[in-house]
Chain A
Amino acid sequence: MFRRIFSIAANTFRETIRNKILYAILAFALFVIGMTFFLADLSVGDFARIIADVGLASIHIFGVIMAVFLGINLVSNEVDRKTIYILLSKPVRRFEFIFGKTFGLSVTLLLTTLAMATVLFLVHFSYRYGGRAEVGIFIASAGIYMELVLLTCLASLFSTFTTPVLSAIFTLSLFFVGHLTNYLYVLGEQSKGTAVRWGSRFLFYLLPNLENFNWKNEVAYGGLKSFSILGWAAGYLVAYAACVLCLSCLLFARKDFK
Protein backbone atom coordinates (compact mmCIF):
# COMPACT_ATOMS: atom_id res chain seq x y z
CA MET A 1 0.00 0.00 0.00
CA PHE A 2 2.71 2.49 1.02
CA ARG A 3 4.70 1.66 -2.10
CA ARG A 4 1.73 2.46 -4.31
CA ILE A 5 1.02 5.72 -2.43
CA PHE A 6 4.67 6.63 -2.75
CA SER A 7 4.64 5.88 -6.51
CA ILE A 8 1.60 8.10 -7.06
CA ALA A 9 3.15 10.80 -4.86
CA ALA A 10 6.42 10.63 -6.81
CA ASN A 11 4.55 10.95 -10.10
CA THR A 12 2.48 13.85 -8.79
CA PHE A 13 5.63 15.56 -7.56
CA ARG A 14 7.30 15.15 -10.96
CA GLU A 15 4.18 16.40 -12.71
CA THR A 16 3.78 19.50 -10.54
CA ILE A 17 7.46 20.34 -10.45
CA ARG A 18 7.46 20.46 -14.25
CA ASN A 19 4.54 22.86 -14.27
CA LYS A 20 5.68 26.14 -15.82
CA ILE A 21 3.05 28.14 -13.94
CA LEU A 22 4.61 26.98 -10.69
CA TYR A 23 7.96 28.40 -11.78
CA ALA A 24 6.38 31.67 -12.85
CA ILE A 25 4.69 32.10 -9.46
CA LEU A 26 7.88 31.07 -7.64
CA ALA A 27 10.02 33.46 -9.67
CA PHE A 28 7.65 36.34 -8.96
CA ALA A 29 7.58 35.45 -5.26
CA LEU A 30 11.38 35.41 -5.09
CA PHE A 31 11.50 38.75 -6.90
CA VAL A 32 9.10 40.32 -4.40
CA ILE A 33 11.05 38.88 -1.46
CA GLY A 34 14.27 40.24 -2.95
CA MET A 35 12.67 43.68 -3.37
CA THR A 36 12.01 43.90 0.37
CA PHE A 37 15.73 44.62 0.71
CA PHE A 38 15.10 48.03 -0.88
CA LEU A 39 11.59 48.53 0.49
CA ALA A 40 12.89 48.43 4.08
CA ASP A 41 14.96 51.56 3.40
CA LEU A 42 11.72 53.56 3.27
CA SER A 43 11.02 52.90 6.94
CA VAL A 44 12.36 54.66 10.02
CA GLY A 45 13.75 52.31 12.65
CA ASP A 46 12.98 48.57 12.76
CA PHE A 47 14.03 48.27 9.13
CA ALA A 48 14.48 44.50 9.20
CA ARG A 49 10.92 44.14 10.43
CA ILE A 50 9.65 45.34 7.03
CA ILE A 51 11.71 42.63 5.32
CA ALA A 52 10.35 39.90 7.61
CA ASP A 53 6.72 41.09 7.38
CA VAL A 54 6.57 41.66 3.63
CA GLY A 55 8.67 38.56 2.90
CA LEU A 56 6.52 36.25 5.00
CA ALA A 57 3.35 37.78 3.56
CA SER A 58 4.75 37.03 0.08
CA ILE A 59 5.50 33.43 1.01
CA HIS A 60 1.97 33.15 2.37
CA ILE A 61 0.18 34.72 -0.61
CA PHE A 62 2.17 32.95 -3.31
CA GLY A 63 2.05 29.69 -1.38
CA VAL A 64 -1.74 29.88 -1.21
CA ILE A 65 -1.91 30.59 -4.95
CA MET A 66 0.28 27.56 -5.64
CA ALA A 67 -1.62 25.28 -3.24
CA VAL A 68 -5.04 26.24 -4.55
CA PHE A 69 -4.30 26.26 -8.26
CA LEU A 70 -2.29 23.07 -8.20
CA GLY A 71 -4.60 21.38 -5.68
CA ILE A 72 -7.82 21.92 -7.61
CA ASN A 73 -6.39 20.08 -10.60
CA LEU A 74 -5.15 17.11 -8.60
CA VAL A 75 -8.08 14.84 -9.47
CA SER A 76 -9.81 16.72 -12.26
CA ASN A 77 -6.73 16.59 -14.52
CA GLU A 78 -6.63 12.81 -14.28
CA VAL A 79 -10.35 12.64 -15.08
CA ASP A 80 -10.07 15.07 -18.02
CA ARG A 81 -7.11 13.21 -19.49
CA LYS A 82 -8.85 9.86 -18.86
CA THR A 83 -5.71 8.59 -17.13
CA ILE A 84 -7.84 7.86 -14.06
CA TYR A 85 -9.30 4.85 -15.90
CA ILE A 86 -5.86 3.38 -16.50
CA LEU A 87 -4.82 4.06 -12.92
CA LEU A 88 -7.87 2.59 -11.29
CA SER A 89 -7.86 -0.45 -13.55
CA LYS A 90 -4.54 -1.34 -11.90
CA PRO A 91 -4.35 -2.68 -8.35
CA VAL A 92 -4.55 0.84 -6.92
CA ARG A 93 -7.23 1.60 -4.40
CA ARG A 94 -9.00 4.93 -4.60
CA PHE A 95 -7.84 6.16 -1.20
CA GLU A 96 -4.24 5.38 -2.22
CA PHE A 97 -4.74 7.61 -5.23
CA ILE A 98 -6.05 10.50 -3.10
CA PHE A 99 -3.36 10.10 -0.45
CA GLY A 100 -0.59 9.81 -3.04
CA LYS A 101 -1.78 12.85 -4.98
CA THR A 102 -2.02 15.03 -1.86
CA PHE A 103 1.30 13.83 -0.51
CA GLY A 104 3.04 14.50 -3.85
CA LEU A 105 1.75 18.06 -4.03
CA SER A 106 2.70 18.59 -0.38
CA VAL A 107 6.31 17.71 -1.21
CA THR A 108 6.29 20.23 -4.08
CA LEU A 109 4.93 22.89 -1.76
CA LEU A 110 7.54 21.98 0.84
CA LEU A 111 10.34 22.62 -1.65
CA THR A 112 8.90 25.90 -2.91
CA THR A 113 8.22 27.16 0.63
CA LEU A 114 11.71 26.18 1.68
CA ALA A 115 13.20 28.00 -1.33
CA MET A 116 11.24 31.19 -0.55
CA ALA A 117 12.05 31.00 3.17
CA THR A 118 15.75 30.52 2.46
CA VAL A 119 15.86 33.54 0.15
CA LEU A 120 14.01 35.63 2.75
CA PHE A 121 16.39 34.44 5.47
CA LEU A 122 19.38 35.47 3.36
CA VAL A 123 17.87 38.87 2.50
CA HIS A 124 17.09 39.46 6.18
CA PHE A 125 20.55 38.32 7.23
CA SER A 126 22.38 40.48 4.70
CA TYR A 127 20.40 43.66 5.40
CA ARG A 128 22.78 46.38 6.53
CA TYR A 129 20.59 48.01 9.19
CA GLY A 130 19.74 45.49 11.86
CA GLY A 131 19.77 42.38 9.68
CA ARG A 132 20.32 39.15 11.58
CA ALA A 133 20.09 35.38 11.23
CA GLU A 134 16.40 35.15 12.14
CA VAL A 135 15.44 31.51 12.67
CA GLY A 136 11.85 32.67 13.24
CA ILE A 137 11.53 33.07 9.46
CA PHE A 138 11.82 29.30 9.06
CA ILE A 139 9.45 28.64 11.97
CA ALA A 140 6.79 31.03 10.59
CA SER A 141 7.34 29.53 7.12
CA ALA A 142 6.77 26.06 8.59
CA GLY A 143 3.45 27.39 9.91
CA ILE A 144 2.61 28.75 6.46
CA TYR A 145 3.54 25.38 4.94
CA MET A 146 1.15 23.61 7.33
CA GLU A 147 -1.61 25.94 6.20
CA LEU A 148 -0.77 25.18 2.57
CA VAL A 149 -0.95 21.43 3.22
CA LEU A 150 -4.39 21.85 4.77
CA LEU A 151 -5.52 23.98 1.82
CA THR A 152 -4.19 21.28 -0.54
CA CYS A 153 -6.27 18.68 1.29
CA LEU A 154 -9.34 20.92 1.03
CA ALA A 155 -8.68 21.58 -2.65
CA SER A 156 -8.33 17.87 -3.32
CA LEU A 157 -11.58 17.27 -1.43
CA PHE A 158 -13.45 19.73 -3.62
CA SER A 159 -11.78 18.48 -6.77
CA THR A 160 -13.26 15.00 -6.15
CA PHE A 161 -16.82 16.18 -6.73
CA THR A 162 -16.83 19.50 -8.58
CA THR A 163 -15.19 21.48 -11.36
CA PRO A 164 -11.78 23.19 -10.93
CA VAL A 165 -13.33 26.68 -10.95
CA LEU A 166 -15.78 25.82 -8.19
CA SER A 167 -13.04 24.00 -6.29
CA ALA A 168 -10.91 27.15 -6.41
CA ILE A 169 -13.82 29.29 -5.19
CA PHE A 170 -14.62 26.88 -2.34
CA THR A 171 -11.00 26.53 -1.27
CA LEU A 172 -10.32 30.26 -1.35
CA SER A 173 -13.55 30.85 0.59
CA LEU A 174 -12.37 28.43 3.25
CA PHE A 175 -9.01 30.21 3.27
CA PHE A 176 -10.73 33.48 4.15
CA VAL A 177 -13.16 31.83 6.57
CA GLY A 178 -10.29 29.90 8.14
CA HIS A 179 -8.67 33.17 9.18
CA LEU A 180 -11.93 34.45 10.69
CA THR A 181 -12.94 31.52 12.88
CA ASN A 182 -11.43 33.06 16.04
CA TYR A 183 -13.52 36.16 15.38
CA LEU A 184 -16.58 33.95 14.90
CA TYR A 185 -15.93 32.37 18.29
CA VAL A 186 -15.49 35.73 20.01
CA LEU A 187 -18.67 37.11 18.43
CA GLY A 188 -20.59 34.02 19.51
CA GLU A 189 -19.35 34.30 23.08
CA GLN A 190 -20.54 37.91 23.20
CA SER A 191 -24.07 36.86 22.23
CA LYS A 192 -26.71 36.45 24.92
CA GLY A 193 -28.51 33.68 23.02
CA THR A 194 -27.45 30.17 24.01
CA ALA A 195 -28.22 28.81 20.55
CA VAL A 196 -26.01 31.44 18.90
CA ARG A 197 -23.19 30.74 21.35
CA TRP A 198 -23.29 27.01 20.79
CA GLY A 199 -23.77 27.48 17.05
CA SER A 200 -20.67 29.68 16.82
CA ARG A 201 -18.69 27.20 18.95
CA PHE A 202 -19.79 24.38 16.65
CA LEU A 203 -18.70 26.31 13.56
CA PHE A 204 -15.46 27.30 15.28
CA TYR A 205 -14.49 23.67 15.74
CA LEU A 206 -15.94 22.48 12.44
CA LEU A 207 -14.29 25.04 10.15
CA PRO A 208 -10.53 25.00 9.63
CA ASN A 209 -8.75 27.44 11.95
CA LEU A 210 -5.89 28.69 9.83
CA GLU A 211 -4.83 31.24 12.46
CA ASN A 212 -3.41 28.23 14.33
CA PHE A 213 -0.59 28.27 11.79
CA ASN A 214 0.00 32.03 11.77
CA TRP A 215 3.22 33.07 13.53
CA LYS A 216 4.21 35.87 11.21
CA ASN A 217 3.54 38.49 13.87
CA GLU A 218 5.93 36.88 16.36
CA VAL A 219 8.83 36.99 13.89
CA ALA A 220 8.70 40.79 13.76
CA TYR A 221 9.32 40.91 17.51
CA GLY A 222 11.92 38.15 17.65
CA GLY A 223 9.58 35.99 19.70
CA LEU A 224 10.02 32.82 17.65
CA LYS A 225 13.08 30.91 18.78
CA SER A 226 12.14 27.24 18.85
CA PHE A 227 10.41 24.86 16.47
CA SER A 228 8.77 23.20 19.48
CA ILE A 229 5.84 25.63 19.33
CA LEU A 230 4.81 23.95 16.07
CA GLY A 231 3.88 20.78 17.98
CA TRP A 232 0.24 21.56 18.72
CA ALA A 233 -0.29 23.08 15.30
CA ALA A 234 1.22 19.97 13.68
CA GLY A 235 -1.14 17.83 15.73
CA TYR A 236 -4.09 19.95 14.61
CA LEU A 237 -2.95 19.71 11.00
CA VAL A 238 -2.60 15.92 11.11
CA ALA A 239 -6.04 15.47 12.69
CA TYR A 240 -7.88 17.95 10.46
CA ALA A 241 -6.09 16.87 7.27
CA ALA A 242 -6.83 13.21 8.06
CA CYS A 243 -10.49 14.11 8.48
CA VAL A 244 -10.58 16.01 5.16
CA LEU A 245 -8.69 13.25 3.32
CA CYS A 246 -11.02 10.57 4.70
CA LEU A 247 -13.97 12.61 3.46
CA SER A 248 -12.25 12.96 0.08
CA CYS A 249 -11.71 9.18 -0.06
CA LEU A 250 -15.34 8.61 0.84
CA LEU A 251 -16.60 10.92 -1.89
CA PHE A 252 -14.08 9.62 -4.40
CA ALA A 253 -15.02 6.01 -3.61
CA ARG A 254 -18.63 6.79 -4.46
CA LYS A 255 -17.73 8.55 -7.70
CA ASP A 256 -18.88 6.71 -10.78
CA PHE A 257 -16.34 6.81 -13.63
CA LYS A 258 -18.42 4.88 -16.18
Chain B
Amino acid sequence: MNEASRGAWGWMAAFGLLVSIGMSWRLLPLRDLPDSGRQVREVPGLLMAVSRSPEFAFGFRNVMADVVWLQAVQVAGNRKLTPTEYDRLYVLLNVEADLDPKFEMPYLLGGLVLGESPQHGREALRVFERGKVTHPADWRFPFHIGFTHYFSLGDAVAGGGAMAEAARLPGGPTYLPGLASRMLSEAREPEVALALLAPIVRQESDSARRAVLERRILDVTVERDLQMLEKAVEKYREKTGTFPAYLPVLVQDGILAAIPEEPNGGKYLLGRGGKVRSDRVSQRMRVFQKK
Protein backbone atom coordinates (compact mmCIF):
# COMPACT_ATOMS: atom_id res chain seq x y z
CA MET B 1 0.00 0.00 0.00
CA ASN B 2 1.55 3.29 -1.06
CA GLU B 3 1.35 6.68 0.63
CA ALA B 4 -1.46 7.98 -1.62
CA SER B 5 -3.78 5.01 -1.11
CA ARG B 6 -3.16 5.10 2.67
CA GLY B 7 -4.22 8.73 2.65
CA ALA B 8 -7.35 7.87 0.63
CA TRP B 9 -8.40 5.17 3.13
CA GLY B 10 -7.86 7.62 5.98
CA TRP B 11 -10.03 10.30 4.35
CA MET B 12 -12.74 7.75 3.61
CA ALA B 13 -12.72 6.61 7.25
CA ALA B 14 -12.99 10.20 8.45
CA PHE B 15 -15.83 10.83 6.00
CA GLY B 16 -17.64 7.69 7.20
CA LEU B 17 -17.34 8.83 10.81
CA LEU B 18 -18.65 12.27 9.91
CA VAL B 19 -21.68 10.79 8.14
CA SER B 20 -22.41 8.48 11.09
CA ILE B 21 -22.27 11.46 13.48
CA GLY B 22 -24.77 13.29 11.27
CA MET B 23 -27.10 10.28 11.23
CA SER B 24 -26.85 9.93 14.99
CA TRP B 25 -27.65 13.61 15.48
CA ARG B 26 -30.65 13.28 13.15
CA LEU B 27 -31.94 10.22 15.05
CA LEU B 28 -31.51 11.77 18.50
CA PRO B 29 -34.90 13.56 18.76
CA LEU B 30 -36.73 10.51 17.40
CA ARG B 31 -35.82 8.31 20.38
CA ASP B 32 -37.17 8.34 23.91
CA LEU B 33 -34.22 8.93 26.18
CA PRO B 34 -34.80 8.49 29.91
CA ASP B 35 -33.50 11.69 31.51
CA SER B 36 -33.24 10.02 34.90
CA GLY B 37 -34.05 6.83 36.77
CA ARG B 38 -37.63 8.16 37.03
CA GLN B 39 -38.64 6.85 33.63
CA VAL B 40 -36.90 3.52 34.01
CA ARG B 41 -39.38 1.21 35.64
CA GLU B 42 -38.06 -2.19 34.73
CA VAL B 43 -36.49 -4.43 37.33
CA PRO B 44 -33.02 -5.91 36.73
CA GLY B 45 -34.22 -9.16 35.10
CA LEU B 46 -30.96 -11.06 34.60
CA LEU B 47 -29.35 -9.76 37.76
CA MET B 48 -32.49 -10.58 39.73
CA ALA B 49 -32.40 -14.12 38.38
CA VAL B 50 -28.73 -14.43 39.34
CA SER B 51 -29.41 -12.95 42.77
CA ARG B 52 -31.79 -15.82 43.53
CA SER B 53 -28.90 -18.26 42.98
CA PRO B 54 -25.79 -16.13 43.52
CA GLU B 55 -23.52 -19.09 42.74
CA PHE B 56 -24.36 -18.43 39.11
CA ALA B 57 -22.51 -15.13 39.32
CA PHE B 58 -19.39 -17.21 38.51
CA GLY B 59 -17.18 -15.30 40.90
CA PHE B 60 -18.52 -11.86 39.93
CA ARG B 61 -21.04 -11.35 42.72
CA ASN B 62 -19.49 -8.16 43.97
CA VAL B 63 -19.41 -6.38 40.67
CA MET B 64 -23.00 -7.45 39.93
CA ALA B 65 -23.99 -6.12 43.35
CA ASP B 66 -22.25 -2.85 42.50
CA VAL B 67 -24.16 -2.55 39.22
CA VAL B 68 -27.48 -3.00 41.06
CA TRP B 69 -26.38 -0.58 43.78
CA LEU B 70 -25.52 2.09 41.19
CA GLN B 71 -28.99 1.62 39.70
CA ALA B 72 -30.52 1.99 43.16
CA VAL B 73 -28.51 5.18 43.71
CA GLN B 74 -29.87 6.60 40.46
CA VAL B 75 -33.45 5.88 41.58
CA ALA B 76 -32.95 7.11 45.15
CA GLY B 77 -31.19 10.23 43.88
CA ASN B 78 -34.37 11.66 42.35
CA ARG B 79 -35.67 14.71 44.20
CA LYS B 80 -39.16 13.33 44.53
CA LEU B 81 -39.87 9.66 44.12
CA THR B 82 -43.14 8.19 42.92
CA PRO B 83 -44.63 5.09 44.62
CA THR B 84 -43.51 3.04 41.60
CA GLU B 85 -39.95 4.25 42.09
CA TYR B 86 -40.06 3.35 45.78
CA ASP B 87 -41.23 -0.13 44.73
CA ARG B 88 -38.37 -0.38 42.26
CA LEU B 89 -35.89 0.82 44.85
CA TYR B 90 -37.09 -1.89 47.24
CA VAL B 91 -36.62 -4.56 44.57
CA LEU B 92 -33.14 -3.27 43.72
CA LEU B 93 -32.11 -3.22 47.37
CA ASN B 94 -33.22 -6.82 47.78
CA VAL B 95 -31.39 -7.93 44.65
CA GLU B 96 -28.28 -6.13 45.89
CA ALA B 97 -28.57 -7.74 49.32
CA ASP B 98 -28.92 -11.20 47.74
CA LEU B 99 -25.76 -10.66 45.73
CA ASP B 100 -23.65 -9.07 48.45
CA PRO B 101 -25.28 -9.28 51.88
CA LYS B 102 -22.27 -7.71 53.61
CA PHE B 103 -22.51 -4.35 51.80
CA GLU B 104 -24.04 -2.17 54.53
CA MET B 105 -24.59 1.12 52.72
CA PRO B 106 -27.62 -0.08 50.67
CA TYR B 107 -29.41 -1.17 53.84
CA LEU B 108 -28.72 2.07 55.66
CA LEU B 109 -29.32 4.53 52.86
CA GLY B 110 -31.98 2.54 51.02
CA GLY B 111 -33.94 1.91 54.20
CA LEU B 112 -33.88 5.57 55.12
CA VAL B 113 -35.09 6.63 51.67
CA LEU B 114 -37.88 4.02 51.73
CA GLY B 115 -38.87 5.23 55.18
CA GLU B 116 -39.64 8.66 53.72
CA SER B 117 -42.57 7.21 51.83
CA PRO B 118 -45.74 6.83 53.94
CA GLN B 119 -46.60 3.63 52.06
CA HIS B 120 -43.16 2.03 52.32
CA GLY B 121 -42.43 2.06 56.03
CA ARG B 122 -42.81 -1.72 56.27
CA GLU B 123 -40.44 -2.20 53.31
CA ALA B 124 -37.91 0.09 55.00
CA LEU B 125 -38.16 -2.05 58.13
CA ARG B 126 -37.58 -5.23 56.11
CA VAL B 127 -34.47 -3.69 54.53
CA PHE B 128 -33.07 -2.73 57.95
CA GLU B 129 -33.98 -6.14 59.37
CA ARG B 130 -31.99 -7.83 56.59
CA GLY B 131 -29.04 -5.61 57.37
CA LYS B 132 -29.34 -6.44 61.05
CA VAL B 133 -29.18 -10.16 60.30
CA THR B 134 -25.91 -9.66 58.41
CA HIS B 135 -24.47 -7.12 60.86
CA PRO B 136 -25.81 -8.23 64.24
CA ALA B 137 -23.20 -6.24 66.19
CA ASP B 138 -23.84 -2.93 64.41
CA TRP B 139 -25.98 -0.60 66.54
CA ARG B 140 -27.05 1.45 63.51
CA PHE B 141 -29.47 -1.21 62.26
CA PRO B 142 -31.66 -1.47 65.37
CA PHE B 143 -31.32 2.31 65.68
CA HIS B 144 -32.77 2.85 62.21
CA ILE B 145 -35.41 0.19 62.87
CA GLY B 146 -36.43 2.16 65.92
CA PHE B 147 -36.32 5.39 63.97
CA THR B 148 -38.59 3.91 61.26
CA HIS B 149 -41.00 2.42 63.78
CA TYR B 150 -41.34 5.73 65.52
CA PHE B 151 -41.22 8.30 62.74
CA SER B 152 -42.62 6.31 59.77
CA LEU B 153 -45.04 3.93 61.43
CA GLY B 154 -45.86 5.87 64.59
CA ASP B 155 -45.16 2.86 66.79
CA ALA B 156 -43.38 4.33 69.80
CA VAL B 157 -43.25 1.07 71.76
CA ALA B 158 -41.55 -0.86 68.96
CA GLY B 159 -39.33 2.17 68.25
CA GLY B 160 -38.22 2.45 71.84
CA GLY B 161 -37.56 -1.29 72.01
CA ALA B 162 -35.36 -1.16 68.91
CA MET B 163 -33.53 1.91 70.26
CA ALA B 164 -32.89 0.08 73.51
CA GLU B 165 -31.53 -2.86 71.52
CA ALA B 166 -29.21 -0.46 69.65
CA ALA B 167 -28.09 1.03 72.97
CA ARG B 168 -26.96 -2.39 74.17
CA LEU B 169 -24.61 -2.83 71.20
CA PRO B 170 -21.03 -1.53 71.31
CA GLY B 171 -19.98 1.68 69.60
CA GLY B 172 -23.32 3.44 69.81
CA PRO B 173 -23.63 7.07 70.84
CA THR B 174 -24.36 7.91 74.45
CA TYR B 175 -27.78 9.35 73.73
CA LEU B 176 -29.27 6.05 72.55
CA PRO B 177 -30.50 4.79 75.94
CA GLY B 178 -32.00 8.20 76.55
CA LEU B 179 -33.72 8.15 73.18
CA ALA B 180 -35.06 4.69 73.89
CA SER B 181 -36.48 5.72 77.23
CA ARG B 182 -37.94 8.92 75.83
CA MET B 183 -39.75 6.97 73.12
CA LEU B 184 -41.12 4.47 75.59
CA SER B 185 -42.12 7.21 77.98
CA GLU B 186 -44.05 9.03 75.33
CA ALA B 187 -45.79 5.75 74.69
CA ARG B 188 -46.83 6.14 78.34
CA GLU B 189 -44.90 3.08 79.40
CA PRO B 190 -42.08 4.49 81.55
CA GLU B 191 -42.02 1.30 83.60
CA VAL B 192 -40.87 -0.52 80.45
CA ALA B 193 -38.29 2.21 79.82
CA LEU B 194 -36.95 1.79 83.36
CA ALA B 195 -36.78 -1.97 82.95
CA LEU B 196 -34.81 -1.54 79.71
CA LEU B 197 -32.49 1.06 81.12
CA ALA B 198 -31.56 -0.87 84.27
CA PRO B 199 -29.53 -3.64 82.54
CA ILE B 200 -27.95 -1.09 80.17
CA VAL B 201 -26.71 0.91 83.16
CA ARG B 202 -25.43 -2.24 84.86
CA GLN B 203 -23.47 -3.27 81.73
CA GLU B 204 -21.99 0.18 81.13
CA SER B 205 -18.32 0.25 82.09
CA ASP B 206 -17.61 3.84 81.02
CA SER B 207 -18.24 6.22 83.96
CA ALA B 208 -19.32 9.16 81.78
CA ARG B 209 -21.87 7.06 79.94
CA ARG B 210 -23.03 5.53 83.19
CA ALA B 211 -23.62 9.03 84.61
CA VAL B 212 -25.69 9.98 81.58
CA LEU B 213 -27.70 6.78 81.92
CA GLU B 214 -28.32 7.33 85.60
CA ARG B 215 -29.58 10.85 84.89
CA ARG B 216 -31.85 9.34 82.28
CA ILE B 217 -33.23 6.88 84.83
CA LEU B 218 -34.08 9.83 87.09
CA ASP B 219 -35.90 11.52 84.21
CA VAL B 220 -37.91 8.39 83.44
CA THR B 221 -38.71 7.93 87.13
CA VAL B 222 -40.04 11.50 87.25
CA GLU B 223 -42.14 10.84 84.13
CA ARG B 224 -43.48 7.63 85.68
CA ASP B 225 -44.41 9.48 88.89
CA LEU B 226 -46.01 12.35 86.98
CA GLN B 227 -48.17 9.96 84.97
CA MET B 228 -49.17 8.10 88.10
CA LEU B 229 -50.04 11.36 89.91
CA GLU B 230 -52.01 12.66 86.90
CA LYS B 231 -54.04 9.45 86.84
CA ALA B 232 -54.76 9.88 90.55
CA VAL B 233 -55.82 13.51 89.99
CA GLU B 234 -58.13 12.36 87.20
CA LYS B 235 -59.60 9.71 89.50
CA TYR B 236 -60.18 12.42 92.18
CA ARG B 237 -61.91 14.65 89.60
CA GLU B 238 -64.18 11.79 88.51
CA LYS B 239 -65.04 11.18 92.18
CA THR B 240 -65.60 14.78 93.32
CA GLY B 241 -66.16 16.71 90.12
CA THR B 242 -63.26 19.15 90.88
CA PHE B 243 -59.50 19.05 90.80
CA PRO B 244 -57.72 18.71 94.17
CA ALA B 245 -56.24 21.92 95.64
CA TYR B 246 -52.98 20.14 96.67
CA LEU B 247 -51.46 16.77 95.95
CA PRO B 248 -51.59 15.55 99.62
CA VAL B 249 -55.39 15.64 99.25
CA LEU B 250 -55.05 12.50 97.14
CA VAL B 251 -53.50 10.71 100.13
CA GLN B 252 -56.08 12.11 102.52
CA ASP B 253 -58.84 10.89 100.22
CA GLY B 254 -57.32 7.41 100.10
CA ILE B 255 -56.57 7.46 96.33
CA LEU B 256 -52.80 7.24 96.92
CA ALA B 257 -50.90 5.61 99.77
CA ALA B 258 -48.23 8.32 99.61
CA ILE B 259 -46.90 11.03 97.33
CA PRO B 260 -43.69 9.66 95.75
CA GLU B 261 -40.43 11.45 96.47
CA GLU B 262 -39.06 13.51 93.63
CA PRO B 263 -35.82 11.62 92.80
CA ASN B 264 -33.85 14.84 92.14
CA GLY B 265 -34.60 16.12 95.65
CA GLY B 266 -37.38 18.47 94.57
CA LYS B 267 -41.17 18.44 94.86
CA TYR B 268 -44.12 17.46 92.73
CA LEU B 269 -46.54 20.34 92.22
CA LEU B 270 -50.09 20.39 90.96
CA GLY B 271 -50.77 22.86 88.17
CA ARG B 272 -53.80 24.06 86.28
CA GLY B 273 -56.10 21.55 84.60
CA GLY B 274 -54.85 18.67 86.73
CA LYS B 275 -51.36 18.71 85.25
CA VAL B 276 -48.59 17.69 87.63
CA ARG B 277 -44.98 18.89 87.33
CA SER B 278 -41.66 18.62 89.11
CA ASP B 279 -39.97 21.77 90.38
CA ARG B 280 -36.59 20.32 89.28
CA VAL B 281 -37.50 19.15 85.79
CA SER B 282 -38.53 21.86 83.39
CA GLN B 283 -39.64 19.69 80.47
CA ARG B 284 -41.61 16.48 80.34
CA MET B 285 -40.05 13.58 78.43
CA ARG B 286 -41.27 13.57 74.87
CA VAL B 287 -39.63 12.90 71.53
CA PHE B 288 -40.32 16.01 69.55
CA GLN B 289 -41.76 15.31 66.18
CA LYS B 290 -42.42 17.84 63.43
CA LYS B 291 -45.40 16.97 61.32
Contact = CB atoms under 8 A, between A and B. Distances in A.
Contact of A220 (B53, B57, B62, B73): B62
Nearest to A46: B105
Nearest to A144: B59
Contacts of A216: 59, 62-63
B50 to A, nearest CB: 12
B56 interface: yes
B209 to A, nearest CB: 28
Contact of B62 (A39, A42, A217): A217
A53 B66 contact: yes
Nearest to B53: A183
Contacts of B216: none
B55 A180 contact: yes
Interface string B47-82: 000000101111111110110011001101100000
Contacts of A210: 59
A213 to B, nearest CB: 9
B100 A57 contact: no
Contact of A50 (B53, B66, B76): B66
Contacts of B55: 179-180, 182-183
A60 B56 contact: no
Q: Which of B55, B73, B76 has the most CB of A within 10 A?
A: B55
Interface string A42-79: 11111001100110110011000000000000000000
Contacts of A43: 66, 69-70, 73
What is the size category of the interface that chain B forms with chain A? 20 to 34
Given A46-B103, A217-B100, A176 B62 contact: no
B58 A176 contact: yes
B105 A44 contact: yes
B66 A54 contact: yes
B62 A53 contact: yes
Most chain A beta-carbon neighbours within 10 Å: one of B74, B76, B103 = B103
Interface centre among B59, B62, B66, B76 (most CB of A within 10 A): B59
Contacts of A189: none
Contact of B66 (A49, A61, A175): A49
Nearest to A186: B55
A179 B59 contact: yes
A56 to B, nearest CB: 8
B237 interface: no
A257 interface: no
A45 B140 CA distance: 16
Nearest to B56: A180
A245 to B, nearest CB: 23
A57 B70 CA distance: 16
A54 B63 contact: yes
A212 B163 CA distance: 41
Nearest to B108: A45
A246 B224 CA distance: 80
A257 B145 CA distance: 72
Contacts of B61: 217
Interface string A22-47: 00000000000000000100111110
Given A42-B70, A46-B105, A49-B66, 6 more contacts: A42-B73, A45-B105, A50-B70, A53-B65, A179-B59, A211-B59
21 contacts: A42-B73, A43-B70, A44-B76, A44-B77, A53-B63, A54-B63, A54-B66, A56-B63, A57-B62, A179-B57, A179-B58, A180-B56, A180-B58, A183-B55, A214-B59, A216-B62, A217-B61, A217-B100, A220-B102, A220-B103, A221-B102
Interface of A: 39, 42-46, 49-50, 53-54, 56-57, 60-61, 175-176, 179-180, 182-183, 210-211, 214, 216-217, 220-221
Nearest 4 interchain pairs by C-beta:
A183-B55, A57-B63, A179-B58, A53-B62
